[in-house]
Amino acid sequence: MADNVLEKCRIELRDGLTEAVIKSLSDDLRKENVLGKEEIEEILQKTKTRTDQARDLIDSVGKKGRKASEILLKWLEKRDKHFYESLNIDGYSAIQEAGATSSHLSITADKPNTTTDEYKMDSNPRGLCVIINNENFEDSGKKRNGSQKDVERLKDLFKYLGFLVEIKEDQTTSEIKQLMINYSKDPRHTDCFVCCVMSHGNETGVEGCDGQICPLNDITSPFDGDNCTSLIGKPKVFFIQACRGHEMQSKVLVADGSGFSRIQISGTKYSIAKDSDFLIAMSTVEGYYAIRHPNNGSWFIQSLCKHLEDGSKRDQDILRILTKVNDEVSRKEGTINKDNKVIDAKMTPQPHFTLRKLLVFRAPKAAASK
């Protein structure tokens, strides 16, 4: 029964529904006469956190019974297909229909229901992880103190996850561009390519140690389907730690409480867009500072490494992990000195992606058992 499925998956739905999907589902449920205007306004109150909105949406629909729950699940599949499939709702429903009791059921949002839902990630090594860290600049006043903490954390993490890790320090803009071209032609590519770039930056790109800006497109485009055929159909992941402007995100108070279309293939060839299979996770949104502690490293990279290591042990996909990173970093509190004034330091990261499948980083068995 759909209402039982909704209750069983309640925690996964609460944690996994994005704000955009919650709003879309609210519109869908209003059109289907499941929820009224006032109910939706109550659910989507701006003072509520995303988690509270998701919880209230699930509970409001669940109270209305089986038919309402079926409609919610139907629209969830359309609005966020890969999240819907990760819940294994169809498998759960089949078990119920077969007469299984709830004590024997195991539903998790962390495990996809078929291997075709995931990118292949079992080669040894998994692939290349390139870490570019610009700490020292021609302008000595721009030194990025604390960046070595990020380098060490990233190096340890991706070695644990089975990647070949290479570190490049203090690169000029032209050197960054040439590095990307060289790595796009590297014969060692296997399942995945990861590139971590840490520097100063602005709205258009990241800064070389010579003070010039390297556009983001010059970092990512060498790996598209036209320029890097060895990575066609494989994930290309970029983590960018850099400011994207000179503003500080404003601080707001909240009352906090406690898709894609999968292509089925059977021995046939098919084509994909050349810019498919990218994930670009930015440390902050456009126009704003990215915050780095001079002793402890950057908020984004440190949070990313913590949640990615934990998520790799739980079979969580990268988008689920980045949502947790967004939540943790958004809640961080700090202060910085700007224009000789001490102001609140706030930020939230921003991922962009054209992934077609779930991307799950798992450590090789030997590493995971240590």
- Other beta carbons within 10 angstroms of residue 14's beta carbon come to 18
* Separation CA 206–CA 203 (nearest Å): 9
Which residues, in sequence order, are bridge partners of residue 164?
A: 128
Instruction: Count Cβ atoms below 10 Å from residue 288 Cβ, excluding itself.
Output: 21
Distance (Å, rounded) from C-alpha 124 to C-alpha 156? 16
Given its phi and psi angles, is residue 82 left (phi above 0), alpha (psi -120 to 50 degrees) or beta?
alpha
319, 336 in Cβ contact below 8 A?
Answer: no
Task: State the amino acid at position 222 in one-letter form.
Answer: P
Taking the CA atoms of residue 309, residue 314, residue 319 and residue 323 in that order, the dihedral angle to the nearest 10 degrees is -80
The one catalytic residue in 200, 209, 228, 307 is 200
Catalytic, out of 209, 228, 243, 305: 243
In the numeric block, which tokens belong to residue 213?
């800006």
Pairwise CA distance, residues 232 & 192, whole Å: 10
Q: Which of 255, 240, 208, 299 is nearest to 48 (CA)?
A: 255
Q: Which residue in the block uniquely carries the two structure tokens 């609210």?
A: 26
Place of tokens 């098919």: 270
What count of Cα atoms within 13 Å lies in the side-chain half-sphere of residue 211?
A: 5
Q: Is 243 a catalytic residue?
A: yes
Whether the bond between 349 and the residue before it is cis, its omega within 30 degrees of 0, is no
Tokens of 207: 């800064």
**Beta strand 192-198 with 236-241: parallel, antiparallel or unpaired?**
parallel
Exposure letters 208-221 (e unless 16+ CB within 10 A, then b) = bbeeebbebebbbb
Q: What is the CA radius of gyration of the chain?
A: 22
Which are the catalytic amino acids? 200, 243
